[in-house]
Structure 1
Amino acid sequence: MTHSAPDAAHAPAHPSPPADPRRWAALALICVAQFMLILDVTVVTVALPDMAVDLDLGRQSLTWVVTAYTLCFGGLMLLGGRLADALGARRTLLAGLAVFTLASLVTGLAVNAPMLIGGRVAQGVGAALLSPAALSLVTTTFHGAERNKALGVWAAIGGAGSALGVLLGGVLTDGPGWQWVFYVNVPVGVLLLALLPAFVAARPPRPARLDLPGALLVTAGTGALIYGLVKAGDTGWSGAATLLSLAGAVVLYGAFAVVERASRTPLMDLRMFTRRPVLAGSFLMLIATALLISFFFLGSVYLQKVRGLSALETGLVFLPVAVATALGAHLGSHFVGRLGSRPTAVAGMAVAAVGLVPLTRLSADGSVYTGLLPGLAVASLGIGAVFVTATTTALAMVEHREAGLASGVVNTFHEVGGSIGVAVVSTVAATGIEGGAASGFTDAFLLCAVAAGVSAVLAIGLVPQGKPQLSGPHAH
């Protein structure tokens, strides 16, 4: 089912512009900026129990500390990409970095839940401006074989950020305090703001219409969905607040669809979901991210609240899990090329489901290293393979000219998936998070196992047959 642009082979050769001698230094700086954004998803999870004690955070507030960031990051990412076109990628990158850096300072200074969550929202807005502008700069600064190499470095940042996030979160929380998981961004951000203008060339902006209503509707819809999912842990699934929030999400998503269909320059071309590879890639990315971020969230609270581990010990327990995710991604890349997308996706989800089975029998005693750790590592190995399959299926199985659109859609589902996953497991594990009972966590891990198993079955029918052919033009 591999597609290729019909005119690609016959297109006239356009000479690449002369290479910028500063390009590799620029790539290094841009990757450091992106690294901070990825880090901020997982670095926070290990610090959550300490934040809860210092700021008297309940389960709902604790959940929003994670979801507020990924919600705004994912919900506004496509708008950030349009702004990078309209205002220029360098200008948008610097604006996003400035917002993210200032927001990190505010979040670290937080003295209560509203200030903490407000800071996380602002961090997400900064990330939504920075990330698409950074990727745009990478794809326009490099050409030919160098572009593939640069995009490979960019992709590796994701796995490394998640892995180091859990360890750094433990080191900083146990050392100077949880505030430093945010403060650490400030000197790095200021240094990048000083250096980037000298290494990243300004390029003229391209005219682009901004679909602000679409961005606000999809973000508000997802916010209402997450609020309803979190609220269900307190009021039950039939509670008025839960039902009104979920109904509001449906209405807002419906309004988003109407606005996108009527717009001449929609934020998200909904017809992309009629492309089976994009639909399959988005589904896989949503489930994989929901599961992985849920692992970090549940595991961190369980290890510290139920088992009494320190933040540093928790970070060390999670390091093999993060490494297993990166190994799974490496193996997934190999198997997608050899066997195709469908077998790799199905096997990855099935491995995740099998790995989660032992976690449905967790207790308040017994060894963490023979109970929680092996199961999470096996599950994360499978999830790592699914991540690669999601991206390559969506990008390499659509027409060249649609690869950019497909990339934006899949990246949005990546961030939003994390928000939804944490909201759901937080509600299912409510008794464990609030009271320290192991049973709440086993229920949540059981839900994760069922979700992985069902997704493996759905992937058989949803994911296209064939081996993606990922090359330079696709990798935007």
Structure 2
Amino acid sequence: MTLSEESPALDDPPVARARERRRVPLWLAIVACSVPMFMVALDNLVVSTALRTLAVDLEASTQQLQWFVNAYVLSFACLLMTGAALGDRFGRRRVFVIGIVVFTLASAGCGLADGSAQLITYRAVQGFGAAAVMPLSLTLLSQAVPERLRGLALGLWSGISGLAVAMGPVVGGAVVDGLDWRWIFWINVPVGVVAVPLILLTLRESSLPGIRLDLIGMVLAAAGLCAVVWGIVHGDTDGWTSAKVLGAFLGGAALLAAFVAWEARVPEPMLPLSFYRVRAFTLTNVVSAAMYFGVFGSLFLLAQYLQMVPQRTPFEAGVRTLAWTLMPMFVAPVAGLLSDRAGGGRLMALGLFLQGVGLGWIDVVADIDTPYSSLVAPMIVAGVGMGLVFAPTAAVVLGSVSKEHAGKASGANTTVREIGGALGIAVLSSVFVAHGSMGTPQRFIAGLHPAVWVGVAVVLVGAVCALGIPRRPRSEGADV
């Protein structure tokens, strides 16, 4: 199966004609877009599992351990829309490649780090690169495939994203069980070295002709999101009502309000507010936030539950999560094919409902003497549900806006998604601490049950919102 590349508006005519004659295998275009995304998504998850090893080898304090994770999360989540905007202005493939190079070099820096300060610095730089890779990966893929194959391509892309979620606890567990922690980062280097020439040979360049950078919007969005995410990641440890956390939320809200006011009056906004007049786009963002809140918050606690009841190594626990986390790899491509026919909103509603059922089922049966076999079926149900959400989300977001705005729409959705995941982990951890502790299996179970029920409630609210998504978002957002 092959596809013909479309000639971008900015290509010189001879180059455009040469590219039109060249045919690129569909699978190769999917690989070129998906492998860098997999690398970025995996690194977002794997470090959390390896924190114990990092604490010993680097003699890191508790605060430094938090920043090993938070430095990446902050720079990544806060710059996603900026990465998409830079791609629109300077060329999406160009900025995508630059993001990969930055991420790869920062990964090498992490692997060479001999102290906590160095590792934190390079983790922040990794986030800068990842913020360009993640939104532009989806945008470039949507442009690289013909319309009739877009659902399949987005489904396969989503399945690879799900594989990164699956491998995070496993790779992190392998590090804790004896593999040198530096391999978490060194493995990215050969991937980056192979990905760059593959992208240059496979994907065409595209940009928006004559667009101006919305520098004030970029600064306001990045600063506001940074303050909000900082407040989220510190809410559990510093207290949600502490002066620092409340100050971060208030400051972030003020900056984001200024961002909205600025975007409403600037001729070429970084994020067109007209997107949010499209019901499909707005509700899909709510669905994304709800899914990542419930699923990643619950998965964060359940991964620890599998280590405690009974005692298992992190690697053994990570392998046991695969019953859940591998499902999207198989379900997402099918969901992508069905998205246009069945309606993305319906599939998302079904997926979130199954996630809620799976999470609630796990919460009901989880106890200090629950055999793993009793958890497999609900894990599979939750994983199937997750796979039914991934691909339709991407399809509806891109279908809600015109092609030239695909990068901005992808960046906005990915930002909401990451904030939802960070908020889910923080809130569910706070509920857990309020009712239990890590001290004994009994105390862990006491905190686990109410925390997961919060995740179930949020996921089911997302399912209700998904029912309001129109079956054909493209007609609704045709002029956006």
TM-score category by the smaller chain? 0.7 to 0.9
Task: Name the structure 2 match of 1:170.
Answer: 173
- Provide the residue aligned with 2:385 in structure 1: 382
Contact 1:280–1:463 (Cα < 8 Å) also in 2:
no
| Alpha-carbon distance in structure 1 between the residues aligned to 2:341 and 2:203 | 38
Aligned residue for 2:7? none
SS of structure 2 residue aligned to 1:208: coil
Structure 1 residues 446, 60: CA separation in 2 closer, same or farther (over 3 Å shift)? farther
Q: What root-mean-square deviation, in Å, do the aligned CA atoms of Structure 1 and Structure 2 show?
A: 3.8
Summarize the Cα distance change of 1:234–1:394 in structure 2 as closer, same or farther, 3 Å threshold: closer
Preserved contact between residue 341 and residue 464 of structure 1 (Cα < 8 Å): no
State the match for 1:281 in structure 2: 284
1:18 is paired with a residue of what secondary structure?
Answer: helix
1:401 CA displacement: 6.8
CA drift of 1:122 comes to 1.5
Aligned twin of 2:105 = 102
Counterpart residue type for residue 265 of structure 1 = E
- CA distance, structure 1, for counterparts of residue 404 and residue 201 of structure 2: 32
> Secondary structure of the equivalent of 1:41?
helix
Aligned to 2:5: none
| Equivalent residue, structure 2, for 1:295 | 298
CA distance in 2, matches of 1:236, 1:199: 49
Per the alignment, residue 93 of structure 1 pairs with 96
SS at match of 2:22: coil
2:152 and 2:336 in contact (8 A); partners too: no
Structure 2: give runs of 5+ residues left out of the alignment: 1-16
Task: Give CA deviations for 1:276-308 in whole Å, capped at 9, x if unaligned.
Answer: 111110000111122232234223334346753
Q: Hey, what's the Cα distance between the residues in 2 that align with 1:167 and 1:449?
A: 26
* Structure 1: runs of 5 or more not aligned: 1-14
Structure 1 contact 301–433 (Cα < 8 Å) conserved: no
- Corresponding residue of 2:450: 446
Q: Report the alpha carbon displacement of residue 55 of structure 1 after superposing the two structures with TM.
A: 4.2
Moved more, 164-173 or 334-343: 334-343
- Equivalent position SS for 1:268: coil
Residue in 2 that maps onto 1:42: 45
Distance (whole Å) between structure 2 residues aligned to residue 155 and residue 342 of structure 1: 16
Choose the corresponding residue for 2:460, options 450, 456, 464: 456
Change (3 A) 1:50 1:243: same
CA shift for structure 1 position 318? 1.2
Of residues 357, 372, 378, the one that matches 1:369 is 372
Deviations 1:35-90 (Å, cap 9, x if unpaired)?
21222233334323433444455666555544543443333222222222322233
Q: 1:331 to 1:203 in 2, by over 3 A?
A: closer
Q: One-letter code of the match for 1:168?
A: V
Distance across 1 between alignment mates of 2:181 and 2:308: 16
Residues 159-198 of structure 1 aligned to structure 2 (within 5 Å) = 159-193=162-196, 196-198=199-201
Change (3 A) 1:128 1:46: same
The 3 A distance-change label for structure 1 pair 204 and 192 is same
Letter in 1 for 2:22: D
Corresponding residue number in structure 1 for 2:246: 243
Aligned to 1:260: 263
8 Å contact kept, 1:363–1:438 = no
Q: Check 1:457–1:114 CA distance in 2 against 1; reply closer, same or farther (3 A cut).
A: same
Matched, 1:317 2:320: yes
Provide the C-alpha distance between the structure 1 equivalents of 2:463 and 2:288, rounded to a whole number of angstroms: 12
One-letter code aligned to 2:241:
S
Partner residue of 2:123 out of 115, 120, 124: 120
> CA, structure 1 residues 96+372, in 2 after alignment: closer, same or farther (shift >3 Å)?
same
Q: Cα deviations across residues 410-443 of structure 1 (Å, max 9, x unaligned)?
A: 2322233222222323333447676566645653
How high is the TM-score relative to the length of structure 1? 0.80
Give distance in 1, aligned partners of 2:359 and 2:239: 26
Shift of 1:29: 3.5
Measure, in 2, the Cα distance between the counterparts of 1:469 and 1:266: 22
Q: Provide the identity percentage.
A: 31
Aligned partner of 2:258: which letter?
A
Seen in structure 2, the aligned counterparts of structure 1 residues 151 and 236 have a Cα distance that, compared at 3 Å, is closer
Contact 1:37 1:127 in 2 (8 A): yes
8 Å CA contact 1:60–1:231 kept in 2: the answer is: no
Residue type of the alignment partner of 1:266 = P
Q: 1:185 is matched by which residue type in structure 2?
A: N
Deviations 1:296-348 (A, max 9, x none): 42233343467532232122111111123445546755776676455544443
Give the paired residue count.
460
Are the aligned partners of 2:368 and 2:442 in contact in 1 as well (CA < 8 Å)? Answer: no
- Give the match for residue 213 of structure 2: 210
Say which is worse superposed, 196-205 or 168-177, in terms of deviation: 196-205
CA contact (8 A) 2:110 2:118 kept: yes
- Paired AA for residue 447 in structure 1: A
How far is 1:261 from its partner? 2.0
